[in-house]
Structure 1
């Protein structure tokens, strides 16, 4: 019960500070300490506080904040580009297994099963892996495996192609999970929902185009496996434009994120 009380109080004071209400936050802290018979005499002059206008939560205002700041615009453009390439492969590969020429039922079953270990892998390793390097590696592997599926059956047997296709899809599934986590860590709380919405739209846009390419790939596999592989590989290269976020504290306000960008040493654990 005490732990819940402490968490609630810390959240309240943080919420007040984020909205520029420093005096109320200080008064709240002082009232809490008096319950234990203690008295705070500090005026909290060094307490970091942010202006209230930057904390507007309307859709248009958050979009405006994302667009006006160069660092936010750069991050959003890069992660949306990556999401589009990943979405194209994630939604397209399961639809395209019929163009492999292997056992259709087995291929569909393996693709369905591949999503479960991909999610488990992300769940257990999310605290240990770097976001940028892992996302770059997975998009590269997924793209290369997709391109290998272009080979004729004389060069690569059908069963081997089926395994390669599952590996490519597994990489795309893992990328989807990492992208969502990465986006949460890239953007402060006041604009995070809008950023996540745009990322999901980029993923879905890839899914909208995927069936068209699958149909064209029935006559020429390059339009399916080739485009999927090139898309996720090339879009994945935009990962180098993003900062590494593993181990960083999540910010609430735009100014807090900018402050940490200007003073990276203060964000060390």
Structure 2
């Protein structure tokens, strides 16, 4: 019975002396935390770190542009009556789908939005909202797929570059879209690419500085996102 009451570790009166390899990690008899080690090597905050944070945050500016650009590109522009005949059937309250093409015209250029460029004014709401829906569907699927790449093979920095590349090229390719279906596919790719930009930027920003400045630098990405809008 006495053997069961014996402590697992023998009692000793000797003072604990850390191994010489651990001495650099001990200050004032306290072990350094990971934050202390990082700040000791890269510093708490400097101008070089600020410049790096600004460059990383630029990705959020273009992310904001692609997120909110559909408000303008997919909107239905205003129109006016253009008939000059005495038998006027066009009024400001008329249904545009019930008028002939000679009785009305768009205000400004006919290529201002996808609605006026591809004559979608009488299309269903499913068709007109398809590009924006495709964009956010791509964002959802991109979050599921790209998040694993950041933690396994690519890392945050390479994934941020890849995401910006996919988003930028697909966004530029929308210029050459000939119909709403191609446009929706490209918007899907753009949303897929930008899915991981927010998390990558936030983590890269907070890793660049000491814990004292993480809150201030962490909101920098959200500030640039607002500027993009």
Above 0.5 in TM-score?
A: yes
Q: In 2, distance between residues paired with 1:40 and 1:151?
A: 72
Other structure's SS at 1:149 match: helix
Q: In 2, distance between residues paired with 1:138 and 1:93?
A: 19
Q: Relative to 1, partners in 2 of residues 1:176 and 1:130: Cα closer, same or farther, differing over 3 Å? A: same
TM-score by length of 2: 0.56
Give the Å deviation of 1:92. 2.4
Give the Å deviation of 1:164. 0.7
Which residue of the other structure, out of 86, 97, 107, is the alignment partner of 2:63? 86
Q: In 1, distance between residues paired with 2:11 and 2:47?
A: 48
Partner residue in 1 for 2:176: 151
Which residue of the other structure, out of 71, 77, 84, is the alignment partner of 2:48? 71
Q: Relative to 1, partners in 2 of residues 1:73 and 1:167: Cα closer, same or farther, differing over 3 Å? A: same
Q: In 2, distance between residues paired with 1:108 and 1:82?
A: 20
Number of residue pairs matched by the alignment: 155
Structure with bigger gyration radius: 2
Which residue of the other structure, out of 122, 130, 134, is the alignment partner of 2:159? 134
Q: Relative to 1, partners in 2 of residues 1:163 and 1:184: Cα closer, same or farther, differing over 3 Å? A: same
Q: Relative to 1, partners in 2 of residues 1:182 and 1:206: Cα closer, same or farther, differing over 3 Å? A: same
Given that 2:167 and 2:191 are in contact with CA atoms closer than 8 Å, whether structure 1 keeps it comes out as: yes
Q: Relative to 1, partners in 2 of residues 1:174 and 1:92: Cα closer, same or farther, differing over 3 Å? A: farther
Q: Relative to 1, partners in 2 of residues 1:78 and 1:48: Cα closer, same or farther, differing over 3 Å? A: farther
Q: In 2, distance between residues paired with 1:186 and 1:126?
A: 17
User: Quick check: which one's helix share is greater?
Assistant: 1
What are the ranges of 5 or more consecutive residues in structure 1 without an aligned counterpart?
1-34, 56-64, 208-269
Given that 1:84 and 1:205 are in contact with CA atoms closer than 8 Å, whether structure 2 keeps it comes out as: yes
1:104 aligns with 2:82: no
Given that 2:149 and 2:159 are in contact with CA atoms closer than 8 Å, whether structure 1 keeps it comes out as: no
User: Quick check: which one's strand share is greater?
Assistant: 2
1:206 aligns with 2:214: no
What are the ranges of 5 or more consecutive residues in structure 2 without an aligned counterpart?
1-8, 29-34, 36-43, 76-112, 121-126
